[in-house]
Amino acid sequence: MADLVNPQNTIAVLKKYQFNFQKKFGQNFLIDGRVLEKIIRASGVSKDDFVLEIGPGIGTMTQGLCECAREVAAVEIDKNLIPILADTLQAYDNVEVIHGDILKVDVESLARRKNGGKPIKVVANLPYYITTPIVMGLLESRAPIGSVTIMVQKEVAERMQAGPGGKEYGALSLAVQYYAKPQVIAHVPPNCFLPRPKVGSAAIRLDCHETPPVQAKDESLMFRIIRASFNQRRKTLVNGLGNAAGLPFGKAQVAEALEGMGLDARVRGEALTLAQFARLSDALSGQKP
């Protein structure tokens, strides 16, 4: 088996197939063995696991996952990488390469077919331009996913695990933490990739909740309130929600709901916890516009 994590071997494979990086796919291949080992170790993948990998590239992480997992399905959108993966993964009989867009893959059906509907593990070096749609698509799908261990842009990882009060805290923090418990595993500099990205990266593990940590009467309303709260984050909640398109509440209603929670009417969204947003949503859901 070629050691693909070795930069020279990676370059040799790319030259063999005359592969050209596609900017539209956000391709940056990992070439640091220590980082690769850390990600796979942190993912907790064992011989009992079925693993979904997103964006395998030339198969660098895929090889490591095949060594550890019972079975791997690797979804790759770039058709030019499919013959390369057939080559680099030929030594493994526990991997299926799927040519397709992960946003269009029925993950629940895949988990049912490959893992009897039991929780699967997702591991990926995600393209940074589409990280949030992929992550939220996985979490919101309600597919049986135990954990998601991914490489993302450093700032995105920090936003995912941020708590109230900081500048990183926002709608993404709350959405991710509603579905999972995030933990940054490692910060990864640009020289660990080929080609080098212009930003720092971080590996983060999301342990999916069996049930959300808070219960809102109307989940959809809660997330509309959260998004509106951070659309203009310097505004107070009274002003931000009272003027938000798509929300039928006036400023007086928002102020009354906040006061009922013991909060100052001048409070901003960045100060509220997920539990407080659930309470605010419940308080407003019973009010008539």
Convert the pLDDT of each residue in 201-250 to its tens digit. Answer: 999 999 999 999 999 999 999 999 999 999 988 899 999 999 898 899 99
C-alpha closest to that of 123 among 139, 147, 144: 147
The whole-angstrom separation of Cα 202 and Cα 185 is 7
The mean pLDDT value for 94-104 works out to 97
Q: Does position 2 have pLDDT exceeding 50, yes or no?
A: no
Query: What is the C-alpha separation between 132 and 108, in angstroms, rounded?
Result: 19
Domain segments of the chain as ranges: 7-208, 219-285
CA distances from 44 to 100, 167, 207, 261, 275 (A): 26, 31, 11, 41, 29
Q: What is this structure's pTM?
A: 0.94
pLDDT at 288: 52
Residue showing tokens 């060594």: 67
pLDDT at 232: 85
pLDDT of 289 > 80? The answer is: no
Please state, in angstroms and rounded to a whole number, the distance separating the CA atoms of residues 177 and 212.
9
Nearest CA-CA partner of 50 in 4, 18, 7, 94: 94
For the segment 63-98, what is each residue's pLDDT rounded down to a tens digit? 999 999 999 999 999 999 999 999 999 999 999 999
Three-state SS for 121? strand
Residue 1: what pLDDT? 41
| CA–CA dist 193, 210 (Å, integer) | 34
Please give the CATH architecture assigned to the domain spanning 219-285. Orthogonal Bundle (1.10)
Q: Domain 7-208 carries which CATH code? A: 3.40.50.150
